[in-house]
């Protein structure tokens, strides 16, 4: 089913955010604010929103800059915008959060993010630690600093040769294309997303999915990772805030969930005490679209109910 409502929400950054909403069935117990991944869009989370509605959660999900139906002034497609574009992405998330607070005053909000959205959700949580009651980070690539530095060097070279608004030629080879090759006997280059062939085919057929990001967008994305890699940015975050970290055992983008586990260990080392972490057996990158998605969603709901109660 599609989301039950859709609107264009003006952001203080100048963007017109394509925002989807799903109200809960019965009394609302909380709100889940969804941040989607790279080269996809928020409408793909409608099934998750329906599931959450049946458990008393409202859902808000917007298309990030450069994605889906969101538009921003002086911003070509597949770019977040002109520098500092990463800051504007986080400001857009904050605009949606403020919209939620206006329409659901007093209700606890869970910030949810998948993949790139997990990095965005983490950045927003760190920069606005008082906002969300809890955060759920699914399949996010908390890449080590040396790898990030190498990627930034590549992007600086591409920016010099191609320009910021051109599609990166090298980073996709090191990410999407490399991850595709990790799946044996693959039907498509996107089988690394899910074991569910129907879900993969829908992604491949969707003109709003699977495109090559620009040099500028990749640079901003690695900027999100750099921010998350600095332990000092976690100092303002309450150490008892509920955090849910999820990965897939066969997700090549997180090295089979190892990057998720390392992030959990970092948080434990910093004294965070309210952590829940799951690496799902045989699961690939899109846990919410893999064949075990019902289990993943049930686990999320059980955690979310505790987090808001």
Q: Is the pLDDT of residue 1 over 70?
A: no
Mean pLDDT of 249-275: 97
The C-alpha atoms of residue 261 and residue 228 are separated, in whole angstroms, by: 15
Q: Is the pLDDT of residue 77 over 90?
A: no
- Comparing CA positions, the residue from 120, 139, 175, 144 lying closest to residue 251 is 139
Count of domains observed in the chain: 1
* Pair type for strands 275-280 and 30-35: unpaired
What residue numbers bound the domain in which 58 lies? 5-308
Mean pLDDT of 95-104: 97
Q: Is the pLDDT of residue 47 over 70?
A: yes
Mean pLDDT of the chain: 96
Q: What is the CATH number of the domain that holds 77?
A: 3.40.50.1820
Band the pLDDT of 17: cuts 50, 70, 90: very high
pLDDT digits (tens, 9 = 90+) for 249-261: 999 999 999 999 9
């Amino acid at each position: 089913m599609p989301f039950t409502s859709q609107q264009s929400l003006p952001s203080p950054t100048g963007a017109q955010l394509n925002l989807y909403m799903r109200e809960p069935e019965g009394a609302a117990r909380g709100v889940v604010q969804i941040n989607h991944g790279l080269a996809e869009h928020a409408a793909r989370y409608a099934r998750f929103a329906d599931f959450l509605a049946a458990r008393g959660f409202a859902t808000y999900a917007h298309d990030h800059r450069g994605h889906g139906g969101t538009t921003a002034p002086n911003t070509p497609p597949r770019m977040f915008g002109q520098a500092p574009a990463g800051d504007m992405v986080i400001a857009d998330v904050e605009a949606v959060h403020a919209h939620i607070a206006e329409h659901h005053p007093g209700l606890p909000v869970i910030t949810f993010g998948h993949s790139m959205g997990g990095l965005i959700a983490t950045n927003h949580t760190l920069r606005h630690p008082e906002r969300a009651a809890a955060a759920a980070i699914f399949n996010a690539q908390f890449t080590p600093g040396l790898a990030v530095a190498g990627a930034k060097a590549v992007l600086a070279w591409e920016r010099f040769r191609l320009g910021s608004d051109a599609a990166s030629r090298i980073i996709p080879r090191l990410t999407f294309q490399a991850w595709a090759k990790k799946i044996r006997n693959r039907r498509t280059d996107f089988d690394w997303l899910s074991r569910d062939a129907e879900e993969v085919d829908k992604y491949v057929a969707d003109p709003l999915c699977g495109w090559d990001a620009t040099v500028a967008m990749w640079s901003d994305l690695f900027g999100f990772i750099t921010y998350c890699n600095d332990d000092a940015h976690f100092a303002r975050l309450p150490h008892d805030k509920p955090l849910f970290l999820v990965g897939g055992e066969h997700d090549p983008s997180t090295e089979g969930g190892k990057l998720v586990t390392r992030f959990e260990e970092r948080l434990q080392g910093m004294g965070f005490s309210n952590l829940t972490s799951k690496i799902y057996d045989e699961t690939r990158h899109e846990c919410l679209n893999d064949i075990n998605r019902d289990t993943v969603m049930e686990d999320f709901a059980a955690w979310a109910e505790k987090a808001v109660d």
